[in-house]
Every structure is written in C-alpha cells, then in structure tokens.
A and B are shown apart, each in its own frame.
Chain A
Amino acid sequence: MSEVLVVIDHADGEVKKPTYELLTIARRLGEPAAVFFGSPDQGDAVAEKVKKYGAAKVYVIDDAQIKGYLVAPKAEALEQLVKQLAEKTSPAAVLLPSTFENKEVAGRLAIKLGSGLITDAVDVAEGGLTTQSVFAGNYTVQAKVTTGTPIITVKPNSAAPEEAEGAAAVEAFAATISDVAKTAQVVATQPRQSTGRPELTEAAIVVSGGRGTGGNFEPVEGFADSLGAAVGASRAAVDSGWMPHAFQVGQTGKTVSPQLYVANGISGAIQHRAGMQTSKTIVAVNKDPEAPIFELVDFGVVGDLHTVLPAATEKVKERKG
C-alpha cells in the first residue's frame, strides 16, 4: 500500500488533535506515515502518540536548520522526502493541517513537485475526492487532484479521530536545505500567552463576542468557561483593541467549525459568517431582532448580552452542580 504523508501539527513536541484527524483520514487513502518536523529527542515520544492512530512510520526531520527560516525549508524537505519515497512507490498523498504556514508550505511543494494542490478541505474521501466549503460557506465543492501527488491541506474538525494500531517505526530523514531557502529569516519569536481555554480552531464549543460587548468581554468569557468553551471575537472587537487578533473568527481570522457556536453582540456580516457558518449548531444573543446573524441560528435570544449571559452562566453552573 502506498504511504500517505501526514505532517504532524505540534507545539514543541505536544501533538495536537488535527494530527489524529488527518491520520484517520489518511487511512482511507493508503498507509499513514507521519512526518515530524522537530527535535529528534522528541521523536520517540511523538511516535508513541501517533502510533495509536495508525501511523505505520514516523519520519523525523530535525528542524534545527529549518526553524530559523520561513516556510521554504519545510517545502524543500518534503520535496526530498516525497522524491525519495517515489523511488519505491509514489506516496498516495501529502496531507497537512490547514494553517496559514502549512498552506504556504503546500503551495511551494506543489510547484516543486508539479502536483495539484487543494486547500482547506473539510473532508477527503476514499480515492482522494475532497470536500471544501467556499463562498463564506454558501457552497460545497467536491474536487480532486488530477496531476502528481495530491497535496491537500485539511481544516481542523474535519474528521473524528479513530484509533488504530500502527507500527510507528521511527526513521530519521536527513534533508539538505539550500541557501536559497534560507533567505527569509525568523529574527524573533514571541510565544502567545496561553489563556488556559481550549484552542479556538479545535474547540467543540466556541463562544464569541462582537461590538455589542462594548469592550466588556467578561460576560462572554464567563459563559465560555461555564461550558468549557474557547473564546472568539468579531473583527470589530479586534479592531477596537478589545481582543487580540488571534481570537478573530472570520475571513481574515480563524475558521471554526465547532459543535456549537454562540455569537454574542455580533451582527453576522458575510466576512464573519465565512469563519463560522459550518458550525453544527449556531446560537446568537443580540438585542436587534433584525440582525442578520438570526438567519443562521438554531436558537436565538433577542436581548442584552450583559444580562442574558451572566444569568445563563449561573444556570449552567447550577445544572452542572
């Protein structure tokens, strides 16, 4: 069976959930082989994790000479790995978690390999037929790569991770990084402080606030915490400086597809919808009964978020005991 390369999503060796989703998807296309860009010291620990989701192999690519530069070295390393594998049997596909950085890696790889690229898939079926949600979620598109090794970036929450035993044989892959790939240098990195809440794109529940919060996010955060949810924001809230950009949901922020999305004091502009329209259940609290967000909701409350949310938070806590 041909290998399906899955680029591992991790933070300093901590494997993130989208990796398991991609490994699950990869099994529909061939034999999953995980690719770990990171410190070789962490290779075995990472292998233990991905083993449970069917990874037959783990290619460890030492990122010592990669992490100091933007995007190009990763694409070069993947190109070399794919070409080496192609000497035996061509890999069936390369799957990457759909982050901005990975999309750029995928774009460069597509050119290097002369392969078709599909970005932001929300599903990949047997045979490589992908599903994408486009035009702010108003259309569903099915597409296929017709030339080369399919390169597909897949959004978080695209599959429920299913366990399967894999051999997870660790294999170091030595990539040679050219000087041309080292021309955009990472001069400084400032890690963002963790909020202690679930990650926005991975969370099962997202509670967001917009201009209607008037800058007071406490009711939104309180309600989010009662539900164990991640916190999001509209661009109006971000532009006003109430929330950092990392929390923005929408066309130019994060796309989320949680089980439940709660929009508070958000009107529902097309650019905001683009980032949340595929949520399974949508709830809104807005004091304007005409707000377009109500066109999307499964349940809506016409009311002031500053009174509705604190009261709802209390009730959730009571129920949870």
Chain B
Amino acid sequence: MNIVVCVKYVPDATADRKFEDDNTVDRVGVDGLLSELDEYAVEQALQFREKREGEEITVTALTVGPEKAVDAVRKSLQMGADAGVHVVDDAIAGSDYLGTSLVLAKAIEKIKADTGADLVVCGMASTDASGSVVPAMLAERLGMPQVTLASVVESQGDQVRIKRDNEGSTEVIGATLPIVLSVTDQSGEARYPSFKGIMAAKKKPLETWSLTDLGLDADQVGLSVAYTQVEDTTARPPRTAGEIVTDEDGSGAGALVDFLASKKFI
C-alpha cells in the first residue's frame, strides 16, 4: 500500500508575510517551512503505517512549490516518510486552487500508476491560503471518496472512520479505501524528527518532477490562466494604540464598563 501525504511549503506565520508586486504571495523573500497543519497529516500517515504491522506500506510526501519547497518534503522524510516528490516548474507560479489541485492530482495519479495510492492525506488548511478546499478538490479530481477534517481517524482493513466537527454537530464519516483524508490539529500532536530520523532522511529517495513529467502544459496552470485575479493587496494599517489602564483596588472594572458604555455596548 502507498500513502501520499500532501505537504505545503508556506511563509512562516510568525515572520512578516507579504506579497510580490504582481500580488502573488512572496514565497522566496520570506522564510518558509512545512505548514504546521500538514505536520498533522504526516503524523496520521505515519500512524496509519505503524498500526499495520506486517503490511508493506510506503509513505510518500508530495509538495508542489518553488525550489525551496523541497524543505517541506525533507522535513516529512525526517519525521519518517519513506519517499519524497517535489513538483517544481516556473510555470506553476501564481496558480490558484484550481491550478494547484490539478498539479497535485496529476502527481498523485503518476504515483498511483507507479506504486499505487490507496490513501491521500492532507492537512486541514494551508497556513497561508487557509482555503481548506484543496483536499475536497483532489477528491473531486481523483474520483475518490472525500473524508475530510478528521479530528479522530480509525481504520480496520479497507474501512476508515473519522470524527468530524460540523457547524452544529459532530459526525462520524465512513468510507472504503482508497480515499482522500484531511486531518485537523485535533487529530494528535505531530512527532519531532529524531536525530536518527534526520540522518536516515538523507538516504531516502526524493524525486523532482516538472510539468512535462506530469503530462501538463505550461498554459494549463500558473498566474496567467488562473481563474481568479488578485487586483490589490494592502497591508492593514496598524491599530492605533488603545487606552490601557492598570487595575488598582478594583478600578479596572469601572474603567472597563465606562469604556463599554461610551461605545454603546451597554
């Protein structure tokens, strides 16, 4: 069995994230890393493998992104994934959800043709785009059941069950492998790479694919054919410093309530 984990390389949320002049996300000038939310996806893929002793299971980490995005795959290998694939091509730059999901789907199909892809695991959202749409789009493109936003994952044989928090309820969703799964940050803490894992990662297979390798043309993806266009990006003006009082002998509550009343909240 082969598990594919989709991992995204994103600008660090604690750095000053910004945009390029063409309104695309600056993915080069800002330090990047494996999206924290995709660490949970790697973790669940590894647990899936570990719970099935005796079965031959490989976990392949897949990323679509610029040169530096290979770091996301490397980190996944250090955590314990067996193989890595990095799809990189200048023509992919500036792709929107439709473009990105197309490239990912083609790459998954290629892996599937080579070694199979019984389980595709994604994070709940990328920390830069926060769309939470790519996993559903992959399910649509691949014609696989969509079992997304799992806070708990359980499986037996080819049956998978998850718990999913919906608006007003918690649901249990069931499906039969192969599936596209996405997991939330409630699904269980992700492991840190061990020293042994870091050393072992250096010897693991890591392939680099271009659009041609996927049978895609440059004019099918990227900024120029995106289905959406960003017209303008503006840094939010910093909030003007508010009034801060120190609570002494109960003065804080009074000041707070006076403020709320002055704003007509009471």
Residue A11 at the chain B interface, CB threshold 8 Å? yes
Count contacts on B: residues with CB < 8 A to the other chain: 83
| Size bracket of the A interface | 35 or more
Contact check: which of B127, B143, B227, B244 meets A146 at CB < 8 Å?
A: B227
From residue A128, how far is it (CB to closest CB) to chain B in Å?
A: 10
Contact check: which of B144, B147, B229 meets A144 at CB < 8 Å?
A: B229
Query: Is the pair B97, A107 in contact by a Cβ cutoff of 8 Å?
Result: yes
Query: Is the pair B250, A307 in contact by a Cβ cutoff of 8 Å?
Result: yes
Query: Is the pair A107, B247 in contact by a Cβ cutoff of 8 Å?
Result: no
Residue A64 at the chain B interface, CB threshold 8 Å? no
- What is the predominant secondary structure among interface residues of chain B facing chain A? mixed
Residue B110 at the chain A interface, CB threshold 8 Å? no
Query: Is the pair B231, A143 in contact by a Cβ cutoff of 8 Å?
Result: yes
A-B contact pairs, 19 of them (CB 8 A): A101-B166, A104-B146, A107-B101, A107-B134, A108-B146, A117-B133, A117-B228, A129-B231, A135-B128, A141-B234, A185-B174, A192-B168, A235-B185, A270-B13, A299-B255, A300-B242, A300-B244, A300-B245, A301-B247
Query: Is the pair A191, B266 in contact by a Cβ cutoff of 8 Å?
Result: no
Query: Is the pair B260, A283 in contact by a Cβ cutoff of 8 Å?
Result: yes
Contact check: which of B164, B172, B243, B265 meets A260 at CB < 8 Å?
A: B265
Query: Is the pair B13, A271 in contact by a Cβ cutoff of 8 Å?
Result: yes
Provided the pairs A71-B148, A139-B233, A304-B247 are in contact, do residues A186 and B173 lie with their beta carbons within 8 angstroms?
yes
Provided the pairs A300-B245, A304-B247 are in contact, do residues A100 and B266 lie with their beta carbons within 8 angstroms?
no
- What is the predominant secondary structure among interface residues of chain A facing chain B? mixed
Residue A81 at the chain B interface, CB threshold 8 Å? no
Query: Is the pair B140, A108 in contact by a Cβ cutoff of 8 Å?
Result: yes
From residue A130, how far is it (CB to closest CB) to chain B in Å?
A: 9
Residue B113 at the chain A interface, CB threshold 8 Å? no
Cα distance A102–B105 in the bound complex, in angstroms: 21
**CB-defined contacts of A189 to chain B, threshold 8 Å:** 169-172
- Complex: chain A residue closest to B147, CB-CB: A184
Residues in A37-79 with C-beta less than 8 Å from chain B: 70-72, 75
- Complex: chain B residue closest to A300, CB-CB: B244
- Complex: chain B residue closest to A186, CB-CB: B171
Query: Is the pair B229, A252 in contact by a Cβ cutoff of 8 Å?
Result: no
Query: Is the pair B169, A190 in contact by a Cβ cutoff of 8 Å?
Result: yes
Cα distance A190–B152 in the bound complex, in angstroms: 15
Residues in B163-206 with C-beta less than 8 Å from chain A: 164-176, 179, 184-186
Query: Is the pair B169, A192 in contact by a Cβ cutoff of 8 Å?
Result: yes
**CB-defined contacts of B233 to chain A, threshold 8 Å:** 139-142
Contact check: which of A140, A282, A301 meets B234 at CB < 8 Å?
A: A140
Residues in A172-231 with C-beta less than 8 Å from chain B: 180, 183-192, 205, 227
Query: Is the pair A300, B243 in contact by a Cβ cutoff of 8 Å?
Result: yes
From residue B36, how far is it (CB to closest CB) to chain A in Å?
A: 9
Cα distance A139–B226 in the bound complex, in angstroms: 21
